[in-house]
Structure formats: structure tokens, C-alpha cells
Amino acid sequence: MTEQSQSPQKRLAKAVRWIRRILIVGMVVTIALVWRNYEFEFLDAERHAAVAGKVRDGAILIYTRIDEDTVLGEGTLVEAHVQVAGSLADRLGRTEGRILSEIRGLPGMVVSWLEKDDERREILLDGRRTFAVLRVTWQEALDASAKIREGPIPAGHFLLINPAVDGEALDSRHVGLVPRAALLRKAGWL
């Protein structure tokens, strides 16, 4: 080969090396940014029970921290730090913990009841059925500010109900309305 034909090949090889370097640096920077801003966890069996029907078993949860600028809406899956009171605390063996649940009630939404019997009520939000049954006795041990009452949900509080609306699920039916400050992380999944 002549020197003239080798020169474009060398230039092409040099350009390819630079493009590879740039791509590798770009991937490293992207991975670092994702790792810094997101947390990843496998959905274990205990947490899956809370979101069965919404998230498949074994999914990877992707969390972002919640701050005052985080947009939260109906249906958002969140992790919250809650206080557990009364007989439920005795049964669980703890008075506080983290729950994974779905935001169903936003500040200002109106809570009402559909009476099932003397002990059970279905929670309605803005007149819409949630199919989440609340036992009256579950609310007795709660602090007055956390109790779910008929009327609008107070500013800065949320009603968390698990998509699997089993009455034994740990959500607002047991821990009451959850203040925004107790919401730790917003979850998505793969």
C-alpha cells in the first residue's frame, strides 16, 4: 500500500479510538448520575404482598427521594415511615416501621363511608369506591390527628391504601393519614 492510502486508514482508526473513549466516558458519567439519584431494590415477598396486582413478584424497584418539589399524585407508589399503634403494634412487635403503599387520597379529597356493618366501613374518596374496608377498632388506638374521618383530607396529609386491598395490609387503615414529611421515597419498577 502507498503512504497516501494508509493515511486515511490511520486517520479513521484514530477517530474510532476517540469515539470509543467518548462513548465510554459518557456511559460512566450516566451510570454515576443514575447511581447518585436513584436507589434500586429487588421486591421481596414481604413487600410484594402490599403491592400484589400492581407490581409483579421479583420486580426491581427504582426509588427516588421525596422532597418538597416531588410531584405526588393519586396512584403514586411510595415508601413511608409510619407509627404503629395499639394492638397492631403488639401483633407486629414494633411501634414504627416503613411501608410500601399507594397514594389513594390527596389533600382536599373528601373521605366518606359506605357502611358495611357495625364494625366495617368501605372508604369512599370524592364519592368513588376504593374497595378498601376499614374496621372501626383499627382507628381507636391512633393519635387524633392521624385518624381517618369523614370530610376533606387535611393539607399535607395523604391516605395510603395498598393496591392489594386486603384488610390486613399495613396502610392508612391501620396507621392513619400519613403526613408528607413521613413519605421517604417514590417508587417505580422494572
Task: Decide if 112 contacts 127 (C-beta within 8 A).
Answer: yes
Q: Is the dihedral of CA 73, 185, 100, 107 positive or negative?
A: negative
Cα–Cα distance, 12 to 125 (Å, whole number): 65
Domain hosting residue 6, numbered range = 1-37
- The CA–CA distances, whole Å, from 61 to 49, 58, 182 equal 14, 9, 19
Task: Decide if 130 contacts 164 (C-beta within 8 A).
Answer: no
Entry pTM: 0.73
Task: Decide if 70 contacts 53 (C-beta within 8 A).
Answer: no
- Each of the 190 residues of the chain gets a pLDDT tens digit; together they read 555 556 888 888 899 999 999 999 999 988 887 777 777 777 766 665 666 666 677 777 778 888 888 899 998 889 898 887 766 677 767 778 888 888 999 999 999 999 888 888 889 999 999 888 888 777 776 777 678 889 999 999 999 988 665 556 678 888 889 999 999 999 877 6
Task: Please count the structural domains in the chain.
Answer: 2
Together in a domain, 30 and 109: no
Together in a domain, 94 and 73: yes
Together in a domain, 126 and 170: yes
Quick: pLDDT tens for 83-120. Answer: 877 666 777 677 788 888 889 999 999 999 998 888 88
Q: Is 115 left (phi over 0), alpha (psi -120 to 50) or beta?
A: beta
Provide the β-strand partners of residue 120. Answer: 135
pLDDT of residue 164: 62
Together in a domain, 82 and 174: yes
pLDDT of residue 52: 62
Together in a domain, 31 and 98: no
pLDDT of residue 101: 87
Task: Decide if 175 contacts 145 (C-beta within 8 A).
Answer: no
Together in a domain, 183 and 116: yes
pLDDT of residue 153: 94
